[in-house]
Amino acid sequence: MRVVNLSFAAAGFLGAYHLGAAEALLRNGDRLLSSLKVCAGASAGALVASMMITAPDKLQHCKKFTYRFASNVRSQRFGALTPGYDFMLELREGIEEILPPNAHQLASDRLHVSITHAKTHKNSMVSSFSSRDDLIKVLLASCFVPVYAGLKPVEFQGQKWIDGGLTDSLPIVPLGHTITVSPFSGPQDISPEHKGISRNYLRLANMSVVLSVENLRRLNEALFPPPLTRLKKLEQDGHQDALNFLKREKWI
């Protein structure tokens, strides 16, 4: 059996797409998962990757949290930027609910999280976690968009870190074949089909996406969550695209 890895792109609230894809893989991808070595990700993609590795039984819980979180952000007058609203606190509480007590042990060497150094703006891939709290800090750092999520970067091992999606939004694991998942239309293995005629690509922190109106809309939705009906449609699309991939590549 060949060694494969999974990488989930930075996605913001389009993480709903990732959750749909993850559900298809968990339900129908036994052959793929039996060969899975590493799950990688940036930002919301890192959150889904951590669920895949440490708490696949919490998938439905992740969905409920994502929809609740999105609804709470939408209810704020200025979204996540509303004075007094603590975006990172709500995110941390959600992560705390999902990760099991031994999450850091399950994640070590099997979960790769993209983060960005706040001062040098250099990317770092973290795959070793000495404690559950360290794992949570790394996941929070990978999701911290400056100003949008707050003014104080996340501290980890004496350094300050921000969103990994700013420097490597779709990590590729060095060893083995990496299967890529993205909610943006592009050349990734699992992604929405581009139905237009444009074949111009835009490079976003190591991820290629089609330059299209649809992707610009998705980029906006990543930071400013759309209504529940749209999020559920994204989830359904992710599920179907992942299922199509499994069939196309003869994993099922």
* Enzyme catalytic residues: 43, 163
d(CA 73, CA 85): 9
- In terms of Cβ atoms closer than 10 Å to its own Cβ (0-12, 13-18, 19+), residue 90 is middle
Residues 228 and 67: beta-carbon distance below 8 Å: yes
Alpha helical stretches, state H, 101-194: 103-107, 132-143
Identify which of 226, 208, 222 has the alpha carbon closest to the alpha carbon of residue 44.
Answer: 222
| 245: Cβ contacts below 8 Å, ≥ 6 apart | 179, 189, 190, 251
